[in-house]
């Protein structure tokens, strides 16, 4: 059974009534509930846990890590980012959600700022399925609607995705690449845009399906582990000199 670790900051849920009203048990609990319904083996961890919730032992026991952060990106230590990056390159899947675009780990793995345009107006979002043959699009039809969401707009400063699965349209006129898949080392990474903390997005059945599909897609490492590491190499053929 695929082992999923749901990581969140769990900060705003403790301090902000508007967030607590939507996610009384935390955003992580809502994400985890959707994944449990999809029959994954799910655990939730938080920034203020020991080792920031992401010890080597936890990561070794994780096939896919989901990441939701917003106000505390700066509190995630470089050591934590190092541990997560190592596991992704070694084949762990990583699903980066919503404001996780500005997390240290996402920027580290992509190498860009991941800056974007945004507006908090609770406007309508239509998520278009661009790559209908992609496993992450399974069962989602040609589009689905979230009645109230924060807007994220282009330009989104990320490398061109290896697979672009979703593009969102917003009532205010913007568009955004809201489902971007990447390969880094043996790991699969998926960025999925929806999920502002004051909207009940993680209870939406289409959002839950997209995240479950992404976990399923990201669970399998790409290719076999290298039998020999990089290093000094002896020649496989005679080398003519002179
Ligand atoms: Zn947001």
Instruction: Report the separation in Å between the CA atom of 89 and the middle of ligand 1, taken as the mean of its atom positions.
Output: 28
Judge whether 190 and 219 are in contact, CB under 8 Å: no
Give distance in angstroms: CA of 91 to centre of ligand 1: 28
CATH architecture observed for domain 3-114+178-218: 3-Layer(aba) Sandwich (3.40)
State how far the Cα of 166 lies from the Cα of 181, in Å rounded to an integer: 10
**Cis peptide preceding 46, ω within 30 of 0:** no
Phi and psi, residue 148, nearest 5°? -135, 115
Q: How many whole angstroms from 223 Cα to the centroid of ligand 1?
A: 35
- Domain parsing of the chain, residue ranges: 3-114+178-218
Radius of gyration (Cα) for the chain, nearest Å? 19
- The CA 197 to ligand 1 mean position distance, Å, reads 6
Ligand 1 centroid, distance to 11 Cα (angstroms):
14
What is the distance in A from the centroid of ligand 1 to the CA of 87?
A: 27
* Res 234: pLDDT: 87
State how beta strands 64-68 and 143-153 pair: unpaired
pLDDT for the residue 81: 98
Cα(118) to ligand 1 centroid in Å equals 8
128-184 tens-digit pLDDT? 999 999 999 999 999 999 999 999 999 999 999 999 999 999 999 999 999 999 999
Question: Per-residue pLDDT tens for 171-230?
Answer: 999 999 999 999 999 999 999 999 999 999 999 999 999 999 999 999 999 988 876 677
The CA 127 to ligand 1 mean position distance, Å, reads 16
Cα 193 to ligand 1 centre (Å): 9
Predicted pLDDT of residue 231: 85
State the distance from the centre of ligand 1 to the C-alpha of 71, rounded, in angstroms. 10
Q: In this predicted structure, what is the pLDDT of residue 233?
A: 85
Rounded to an integer, the average pLDDT of 91-97 is 98
Return left, alpha or beta for 39; rule: phi > 0 is left, psi -120 to 50 is alpha, else beta.
left
* Prediction pTM value: 0.96
């Amino acid at each position: 059974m695929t082992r999923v670790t749901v990581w969140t900051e769990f900060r705003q849920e403790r301090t902000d009534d508007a967030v607590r009203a939507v996610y009384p048990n935390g955003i992580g609990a809502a994400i985890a509930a959707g994944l449990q319904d999809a029959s994954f083996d799910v655990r939730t961890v938080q920034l203020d846990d020991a080792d920031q919730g992401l010890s080597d032992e936890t990561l070794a026991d994780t096939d896919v890590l989901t990441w939701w952060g917003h106000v505390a990106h700066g509190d995630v230590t470089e050591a934590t980012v190092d541990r997560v990056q190592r596991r992704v390159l070694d084949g762990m899947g990583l699903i980066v959600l919503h404001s996780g675009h500005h997390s240290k780990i996402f920027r580290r793995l992509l190498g860009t700022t991941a800056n974007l345009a945004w507006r908090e107006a609770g406007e309508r979002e239509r998520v278009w399925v661009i790559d209908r043959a992609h496993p992450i699009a399974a069962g989602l039809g040609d589009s689905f609607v979230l009645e109230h969401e924060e807007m994220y707009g282009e330009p989104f400063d990320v490398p061109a995705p290896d697979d672009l699965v979703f593009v969102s349209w917003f009532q205010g006129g913007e568009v955004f690449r809201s489902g971007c898949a990447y390969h880094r080392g043996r790991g699969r990474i998926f960025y999925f845009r929806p999920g502002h903390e004051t909207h009940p997005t993680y209870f939406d059945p289409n959002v839950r399906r997209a995240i479950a599909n992404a976990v399923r897609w990201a669970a399998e490492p790409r290719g076999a582990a290298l039998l020999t590491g990089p290093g000094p190499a002896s020649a496989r053929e005679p080398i003519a000199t002179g």
